[in-house]
Amino acid sequence: MSSSGFPINDLLRRKFQTSLTIATLTLSVASTLFLLLFSNRLGHGIASSSGILTQGLGIVFSQFILFLGVLIFIVGAVITAFTTFLMMAQRTRDFGLIKAAGCPNNLVSGYFMTELLTTSFVGCILGIAIGFLMDYVVANLVFSSYQLPNVLFAPLVFIVFLVLAIVFGLQPILKATKMSPVEALSPVKYYGLSAGKKNKTVSRLGLTWRIASRSLFRRQSATIRIVILLSIVFILLTVSVAGGIIARDTTTSWVQNTVNKDSIAIADNSMGNQFKLLLSTFSGATDTESFNYSDSNLAIPQEVINQLSALSSVSLVDSRLILKEHVQEVSNFTVDYTTQTTYSVGDSRQDDAIVIGVNPENLAGTWFTQGRFLTQNDDLNAVIGDSIANTMYSVDRSKGIVVSNALVESIAFQNNTFNIVGVCTDPINNGLVVYVPLESLMNITGYSPNLLLLTLNNSTDSSASITQIKTLIQSIDPNLNVFPLNSVIEKNTNFLASTWQTIMLVPIFTLASAALCLLGYMMLTVDEQHQEFAIIRAIGAKPKIVMFIFAIQSLVVLFSSVGIGISLGTIITLLILMQQPLVTSFTILEITGLLFAAVIVMFIFSLYPAFRLSKASILKIIS
Amino acid sequence: MLKNENIMVYTEALEKIYQIGEEKIQVLKDINLSIPTAKFIALCGPSGSGKTTLLNIIGGIDRPTSGKILVAGQDLTLKDEDFLSDFRCLNVGFVFQAYNLVSTLTMAENVAFPMEWTRKPEQEIEKRVDELLEMIGLQHRANHFPSQLSGGEQQRVAFARALANDPQLVLADEPTGNLDDKNGQKIVQVLQLLKDQAKTVIVSTHDTKIRAIADQVFYLDEGRLASENE
């Protein structure tokens, strides 16, 4: 018998177990590679779509995808490690048998190591091939054009997973080499089985529950491993499902709230259309570079503002002066008090931005802001959009800017400097926007407000109110018009929702791959216990009893994992991934529904091997 | 004849063919048997003669390819798996050569669990477990797991489990095959006890001590019933 002949023949003869292990490894590697490639495609798509979405939101998306990528990798690695560990741990008895027959320790170790290496290598190689195939198929279905994937993920996944498979598979082999043949052959040394504690002869609990729970508790190490594995899967699912939904709702609210619901804009025809265009840049529209914001014909007569403020159907008049300015970063200094060293913060970067003068007392919107928004007492303070913060106030080592923080720096235009007190998320001009007090901007530029945002009373008939307002403003200035903004806001939120929808494919694929991996794992564990199920049936248990025992085992394992995984996943989602998360009762209902559906799907999947076993003839199982 | 209360096992032209790949192997050929109740039967014959297959078919674990089989007045030939499960639980006690105890249950629980499917009261189950463990002399091992017992002890527990529901028929497949003389003798004593209790017992065996206590010995050779000795 050659040293490589035996293990290969052994693997070929144990077709079912070998193919099951390779299938589980293949699934694990393939799904991990596919999910990484898919996430990378999404992240790359978002990153490359400059001019669409604000940069702050782009970062939220990228962080989310990166976090999912890390979790996906961990799940795949854990499944791979557990699979090979289980495969080799189940061979302890064979190890003892061969040793008892007189085979030297190093030779028998060599046999099993060859088996381990062969299955791990074949599983990983097949996984890589199938991962690329899945990516090709899905990328063609989801994205309009197929681009070559980032092939660097393949060697990363292959090497890490192969090493993990070998390291974890080696553990039981090394343990078995230290055992005497008698020990290795003893049922007490079977994988995960420990000697039982004294029990009451017949407990009051049902027999089915007792067999199921005893199997779980006596196979403690196996049970703990599967609970850990599933907990990580559920962390991933919670982060991707709950995180995705919360992030979608939260970011949608950020965009939605920047203009109050049912608000209308009053402006000169060209200015009104330009404002709608500025709002639409978020969802892909292109700004007209040549628009002259400082045209004196755009100014809104004070009489219009006065008359609109007096209308009962109008609850708020937000006067704005919108201009395009060349803005410049104004650096600052900070002192490290422990070392008494002074550091320069920022540089003097420049860009064009929309500058909006607002009256902090009358704002027809709220902003998600880091720091704070403008208040009545602010004079030379400013709030900048997240895209400006990321382009003009970020660390840029290539330019020698190692410390930068918008909130300790200032912004200047037309020789006036404003202290930055907040960074907001704003769809206007895709976040390339600066908010300053209206009075200050009017004093600096000498211009009057060129746009009004009106919030209508909820109780009034909005179409009648709009007609009334239109008649009123055109009686004073025929060039003025009314611009309802609901459709633009809706377009922006729909665009955001569709981007999230594409990202939410990741959790769906994650669930599918986790369920498939779980199926493979469950098949291995059913295979491990098949002899006992056959005995129970031979003694007179109906097939449904076998299903019931396995269902209990599966439920105990699933619910333990769900408890741990969902709790940790929720904490990670709320504390790390999202700032100021928006969680409504509907959000909770939606998340609960999806996670519940995921648990049900996994539960049904986990029962399939037991279902097959219960349908098989007793003699076939025993043999 | 078919519903005769004095006949425990009746077979008519019983055949069993296994298909392994392209090859068909006929394990049982035209078996015609009639075993009265309360008889102790030894089933003898060389290895591969079909003894275990015949026991499996009588016990409702396997199905014949053709022919008829009646056990305790029930025609098992066309029954579904649920019926056969109930039938095995209530009417048949099966003892395997390899003991086949459930490793995750204690000795007492292994004996108790066939009774729990019949929904017997818990106190009755506990009493019966004590009786059976006492009968096989292993009361002191009630809370041990199979892995903590010797082969002989495990086989005695397997007998106790087979008797749990007080079945009319006990089937034992080479019960002393894996045991030494001393432990084998203990199993023979248990079998003698069953004979004394007027159970119908069918034992496949090579053991001359078991053959010695049998009321009737059937010989199987290459799947055929070769002879019957009273």
pLDDT score of B122: 83
Does the beta-carbon distance from A202 to B109 stay under 8 Å? yes
Does the beta-carbon distance from B108 to A201 stay under 8 Å? yes
- Count of CB atoms within 10 A of residue A6's CB? 18
* Residue ranges of B 46-85 with Cβ closer than 8 A to chain A: 56, 59, 61-62, 81-82, 85
DSSP for A231-264, please give it: HHHHHHHHHHHHHHHHHHHHHHHHHHHTS-TTEE
Most confidently predicted of A499-508, A557-566, B3-12: A557-566
Q: At what angle do helices B122-135 and B151-162 cross, to 10 degrees?
A: 140
pLDDT score of B230: 53
Closest CA to A420 of A377, A387, A395, A389: A389
The neighbouring-strand residues paired with A267 are A481
| CB contacts, 8 Å: A187 with chain B | 103, 146-147
- Render pLDDT for A525-554 as a digit per residue (tens, 0 to 9): 677 777 778 888 888 888 888 888 888 888
Does the beta-carbon distance from A211 to B105 stay under 8 Å? yes
Checking if the pLDDT of A401 tops 80, the result is yes
- Render pLDDT for B26-80 as a digit per residue (tens, 0 to 9): 999 999 999 999 999 999 999 889 999 999 999 988 889 999 999 998 898 888 8
CA A239, A514, A45 angle in degrees (round to 5)?
Answer: 55
Q: Report the gap between the CA of A243 and the closest CA in chain B (Å).
A: 41
Q: At what angle do helices A486-503 and A55-89 cross, to 10 degrees?
A: 20
Higher-confidence position of A107 and B90: B90
- Render pLDDT for A210-237 as a digit per residue (tens, 0 to 9): 777 777 776 677 678 778 878 888 888 8
Does the beta-carbon distance from B103 to A532 stay under 8 Å? yes
Amino acid at B98: A
pLDDT score of A143: 65
| CB contacts, 8 Å: B117 with chain A | 207, 540-541, 545
| CB contacts, 8 Å: A183 with chain B | none
d(C-alpha B186, C-alpha B192), whole Å: 10
Checking if the pLDDT of A250 tops 50, the result is yes
Does the beta-carbon distance from B61 to A206 stay under 8 Å? no
Does the beta-carbon distance from B61 to A545 stay under 8 Å? no
Provide the pLDDT confidence category of residue A26 given band limits of 50, 70 and 90. confident
Does the beta-carbon distance from A539 to B129 stay under 8 Å? no
* Residue ranges of A 153-212 with Cβ closer than 8 A to chain B: 186-188, 190, 193, 195-196, 198-199, 201-202, 204, 206-207, 210-211
pLDDT score of A572: 81
Does the CA dihedral A445-A448-A453-A459 come out positive or negative? positive
d(C-alpha A28, C-alpha A128), whole Å: 10
Q: How many residues does chain A have?
A: 623
Residue range(s) defining the domain that contains residue B157: 38-63+79-229
Q: Report the gap between the CA of B230 and the closest CA in chain A (Å).
A: 31
Q: How far is CA A231 from CA A57, A249, A562, in A?
A: 29, 26, 6
Kindly identify which residue of chain B lies nearest to residue A537, measuring between CA atoms.
Answer: B85
d(C-alpha A565, C-alpha A235), whole Å: 4
Chain A, chain B: beta-carbon pairs less than 8 Å apart? 102
Provide the pLDDT confidence category of residue A413 given band limits of 50, 70 and 90. very high
CB B129 within 8 A of CB B113: no
Identify the three-state secondary structure at position A199.
coil
Q: What are phi and psi of B102, to 5 degrees?
A: -80, 115
CB A176 within 8 A of CB A90: no
Mean pLDDT for A476-495 is: 88
Provide the pLDDT confidence category of residue A32 given band limits of 50, 70 and 90. confident
Mean pLDDT for A250-258 is: 83
* CATH number of domain containing B166: 3.40.50.300
Is residue B19 included in any domain, yes or no? Answer: no
Identify the three-state secondary structure at position B63.
coil
Kindly identify which residue of chain A lies nearest to residue B125, measuring between CA atoms.
Answer: A202
Q: Which tokens sit at A495?
A: 């665009």
Checking if the pLDDT of A440 tops 90, the result is yes
Kindly identify which residue of chain B lies nearest to residue A536, measuring between CA atoms.
Answer: B102
| CB contacts, 8 Å: A537 with chain B | 85
Kindly identify which residue of chain B lies nearest to residue A195, measuring between CA atoms.
Answer: B145
Is some CB atom of chain A closer than 8 A to the CB atom of B139?
no
Does the beta-carbon distance from B112 to A202 stay under 8 Å? yes
Is some CB atom of chain A closer than 8 A to the CB atom of B129?
yes
In chain B, the number of structural domains is 1
Q: At what angle do helices A585-615 and A543-571 cross, to 10 degrees?
A: 150
Is some CB atom of chain B closer than 8 A to the CB atom of A620?
no
Is some CB atom of chain A closer than 8 A to the CB atom of B169?
no
Closest CA to B53 of B89, B80, B17, B85: B17
Q: How many residues does chain B have?
A: 230
Does the beta-carbon distance from B109 to A199 stay under 8 Å? yes
Most confidently predicted of A460-469, A591-600, B58-67: B58-67
Identify the three-state secondary structure at position A51.
coil
Is residue B184 included in any domain, yes or no? Answer: yes
Does the beta-carbon distance from B143 to A207 stay under 8 Å? no
d(C-alpha B179, C-alpha A541), whole Å: 28
Does the beta-carbon distance from A201 to B112 stay under 8 Å? yes
Higher-confidence position of A470 and A34: A470
Provide the pLDDT confidence category of residue A280 given band limits of 50, 70 and 90. confident
- Render pLDDT for A44-53 as a digit per residue (tens, 0 to 9): 665 555 555 5
pLDDT score of B130: 92
- Render pLDDT for A154-205 as a digit per residue (tens, 0 to 9): 998 899 888 888 888 888 788 777 776 666 665 555 544 444 444 444 444 5
| CB contacts, 8 Å: B101 with chain A | 535
Is some CB atom of chain A closer than 8 A to the CB atom of B187?
no
Checking if the pLDDT of A4 tops 70, the result is no
Mean pLDDT for A284-298 is: 81
Q: Report the gap between the CA of B113 and the closest CA in chain A (Å).
A: 7
d(C-alpha A194, C-alpha A325), whole Å: 75
Does the beta-carbon distance from B116 to A218 stay under 8 Å? no
DSSP for A287-353, please give it: --TT--TT-GGGPPPHHHHHHHHH-TTEEEEEEEEEEEEEEEEE-EEEEETTTTEEEEE----EEEE
Kindly identify which residue of chain A lies nearest to residue B83, measuring between CA atoms.
Answer: A542
CB B205 within 8 A of CB B178: no
Kindly identify which residue of chain B lies nearest to residue A198, measuring between CA atoms.
Answer: B143
Is some CB atom of chain B closer than 8 A to the CB atom of A538?
yes
Mean pLDDT for A476-485 is: 92
Determine the residue among A188, A189, A202, A615 to mutate to test chain B binding: the one whose Cβ has the most chain B Cβ atoms within 10 Å. A202
Closest by Cβ to A207, choosing from B82, B113, B143: B113
Mean pLDDT, chain A, rounded, equals 81
Helix, strand, coil share (%) of chain B residues, nearest 5: 35, 30, 35
Q: Which tokens sit at A71?
A: 């979790």
Does the beta-carbon distance from A211 to B143 stay under 8 Å? no
Does the beta-carbon distance from B100 to A538 stay under 8 Å? yes
d(C-alpha A435, C-alpha B34), whole Å: 102
Does the beta-carbon distance from B143 to A195 stay under 8 Å? no
Determine the residue among B105, B123, B149, B154 to mutate to test chain A binding: the one whose Cβ has the most chain A Cβ atoms within 10 Å. B105
Provide the pLDDT confidence category of residue A459 given band limits of 50, 70 and 90. confident
pTM: 0.65
Q: Which tokens sit at A427?
A: 């769809």
Is some CB atom of chain A closer than 8 A to the CB atom of B19?
no
Q: What are phi and psi of B174, to 5 degrees?
A: 40, 60
Closest by Cβ to B147, choosing from A188, A199, A538: A188
| CB contacts, 8 Å: B79 with chain A | none
| CB contacts, 8 Å: A546 with chain B | none
Mean pLDDT for A324-351 is: 87
Residues in chain B with pLDDT < 50? Answer: 1-2
Does the beta-carbon distance from B101 to A535 stay under 8 Å? yes
Closest CA to A366 of A259, A219, A489: A259
Mean pLDDT for A437-459 is: 91
Does the beta-carbon distance from A202 to B122 stay under 8 Å? yes
- Complex-level ipTM: 0.78
Does the beta-carbon distance from A540 to B86 stay under 8 Å? yes
Determine the residue among B102, B129, B132, B173 to mutate to test chain A binding: the one whose Cβ has the most chain A Cβ atoms within 10 Å. B102
Q: Where are the alpha helices (DSSP H) in B117-150?
A: 122-135
Is some CB atom of chain A closer than 8 A to the CB atom of B6?
no
* Residue ranges of B 85-124 with Cβ closer than 8 A to chain A: 85-90, 92, 94, 96, 100-106, 108-109, 112-114, 116-117, 122
* Residue ranges of A 205-244 with Cβ closer than 8 A to chain B: 206-207, 210-211, 214-215, 218
Amino acid at B112: A
